[in-house]
Every structure is written in C-alpha cells, then in structure tokens.
Amino acid sequence: MAPFEPAALPELLPVFYRRLFPHGAYGRWLGYGGVEKNYFQLREFSFTLRDDVYVRFQSFCSPQELEKELQRTNPYKIDIGAVYSHRPNQHNTVHLGAFQPVEKELVFDIDMTDYDDVRTCCSSADICSKCWTLMTIAVRVIDRALVEDLGMKHRLWVYSGRRGVHCWVCDDAVRKWSPALRAAAVEYLSLVKGGAETVKKVNLSEPVHPFIRRSVNVVEKYFEAYALQGQDILGSPERWDKVLALVPDEHRELLHTEFPKKRDSGQRWELLKGRMERTRRAAGSGKGTACYADWEIMLQYCFPRLDINVSKGIGHLLKSPFSVHPKTGRISVPLDLQRLDEFDPFSVPTISSLCQELDAAGDDAEQEDGEETEPKRRVRDYRRTQLAPYVKTFEQFLEEMERERRGQRLRRNDLQGQF
C-alpha cells in the first residue's frame, strides 16, 4: 500500500472527489427517497478546509450541487449535521430562535482513547490489532441491542479512519426522536460509569437485566483471546492487583494468595471465574449472595464506551462516511457486519493507495473512455480500486432501506384503494 504523506493531500483530494467519492449513493442516502419536500436542502454539512479552516452551516439544493461544491473546495474533512427548520446556509437571515435542528439519525461514536485505562498495548490515538478487538466487541454488543432490544432496522456502521467506529441509525421514526429519547437509548446501552478516579466502573446486582446477560454472552466470545492472551490482564502481580481491586473483599484475599501458584492469565481467570460461579449456584439454592465479579471485570475491560453528548444532541455533527482522515489518509469506510471479525483497520485503503491504483489503471481507462458520461466513468474508476467492496456494502445498506420504503408505499396505496 502506498505510504500516506499529509503534505500530498492538496493534490490527491481533487482526484478523490472527482473520480472516487460515491456521490450518487451518498445523495441517495441523505435524500431518503424524497421522504419530505426539501429534506436534502435542510441538511447541514460542515467542511474542514486546508489550514484548519472550518466552515459550518453549509447546505445544498441537491446532491448534484453538493458534488460540485466538494469538487470545488476539496475539503480535508466532511461532517454531517441535522436537518433544520430552515436552510442552514440562510441561518443568519432567520429570526433569532426560529432556526432549530428538527431531525437527525441517531448516532454513536466509540473512540479507542476511552479505553486507555484498560489497554496495555497502546494508548491515546495509537491502535493495534490486539486492541482493535474492543471495537469489534463494541459493534457486536451495540448492534445486537439496537436490533433485538430496541427494534431498529437500518444501521450503518463506519470505521472512523483512525481509532474508532461510528453508527448511524437511519430508521424514519428514530430520526425524529427528541434529545430525551436519544439520551434514554444511550443510558440503556451504557454500563461503564465513572471517571478516571473511579476504580470500579461496573456494578451488577440481582436481578441482572437481560441486556446485561446478552452483552456478557457477546463479550465472552472474545474475552480469552483479547484480554487473557492479547492483553494478558492477569500476567503479573501489578496487572492482577488492578483486576482484584474489582473483586469483593471476601474473595480477594484467597485469590491473591492463589494467583502466584497459577501458570498464566488463563489459569488465574478460571480460578476467579469458578469461585464466582459457585456463589451464584449457592445463591440459587438459597445460600449466600451471588457475586458477579467475573462479569463486572469482563464488562469493565471490554464493554462499549459511548459518548452520550454525541448521541443525545440533534445538532451534533459527526464525521461523514467516505471522508479522508487527514492524519492517516485512510478512508472512513462502511463496515460489513457479516465479515466484521475479519476487518483490519490497517488494510483500509488510503487516499494515496487509491490514487496509485487509478494511475496503474490509467492506460486501460483512457482506451475505454469513448463517449462515457462522467458518473459512469466515476463508477468504473472506484470499481478498479480497493474502495469497491466498501461502496458495495454502502449500496446494500441503501437498497435495504429503499426496499422497505417501497413496501410501505405499496401498503399505503393498498389501504387507500380500500376506501
């Protein structure tokens, strides 16, 4: 893969927006099939331009106008905001207080830096294949709950381009949710609570909610490989002391005595887990109190950490899919949940590698051009590159939404025909 040099962005971005960015699919997404008149025109976009020039409250009459502006300004980053009561680019002409955000997708932003207290391999903006498993777990836990617990259908999961993932829930009813409803959903999906000073961030008690039980089932599938082998969380006295601080006093002393006798993190975990399971079996027979310290540890080390402010605020902006990350050069690509465990952030194409692929295919493309229209040529261009499977994932997401919309329209027509 071609190395990315941030200094090359000014010459690479025009090629990206002219020949690679999936303008057609992008416009289909944010137009929502013309669900309401002027819906696209009321959407806020913000651009980060060269030298960190930040431009908010951009709006466009059509996807075609947005496409032209992207090709004219070549933004380093695109953020998507709410659908407003008035056109965002005219907000200064609207009476004070009348300009309000009215709709937006329910969004989630999960950032690896929020796990720094439980990562041993990396910190800050750094990631590696070991800790990326945390993002895989986050997507699995949250997506299961969105579908099975909250009844949501249309979720677009996107790699941020550097160290996290975003989710866009696009169901028609959910886009109309108030900040209070959004905050309630995030609260339902949050278990890890407390700042840097809080030692024990997960506290469970009987009866354990089904959401927690199902989340533990998801985490367990990854816990041994991620936490016990990859992070080796019980590999040394310093590390196991940190874990044992989450265990009640009546169990901690025995475990502290027995841990040094065990060979590795796996054996120490089996000892801790076995002791907690015995308390739960005994409690089921009416003897003593059930202890869920093993579940609490798994959740504190692996459960998704959500930014509530991003999710509850309708006016909050979030980085657009298919943006270029200005520091890594990687494209913010949709995730294929069928192949989520195979996803490798380091194999995501960079703007440099994509442009190099276009150059390599250049001679063939020139011979095929003929009278081809610009949109068709652009479709063919990205299909020649590593961007193709990610655009396909995006289009499959759109097709599912559009299929449901057509079904709703047919049902409405059938009902009207009965009267």
Residues with catalytic function: 44, 109, 111
Of 144, 137, 136, which is closest to residue 298 (Cα–Cα)? 137
- Return the sign of the alpha-carbon dihedral for residues 93, 99, 102, 108: positive
CA 255 to chain centre: 37
Q: Which of 52, 176, 178, 107 is nearest to 321 (CA)?
A: 107
Query: Cβ contacts of residue 249 below 8 Å, gap of 6+?
Result: none
Query: Is omega for the bond preceding 207 within 30 degrees of 0, making it cis?
Result: yes
Cα angle vertex 262, ends 258, 267, to 5°?
110
The backbone torsions φ and ψ at residue 197, rounded to the nearest 5 degrees and listed phi first, read: -80, -20
CA distance 348 to 368: 28
The rounded distance, in Å, linking the Cα atoms of 162 and 345 is 8
CA–CA distance from 106 to each of 84, 178, 227, 306, 390 (Å)?
15, 10, 31, 13, 22
Beta bridge partners of 80: 45, 318
φ, ψ at 253 (rounded to 5°): -65, -45
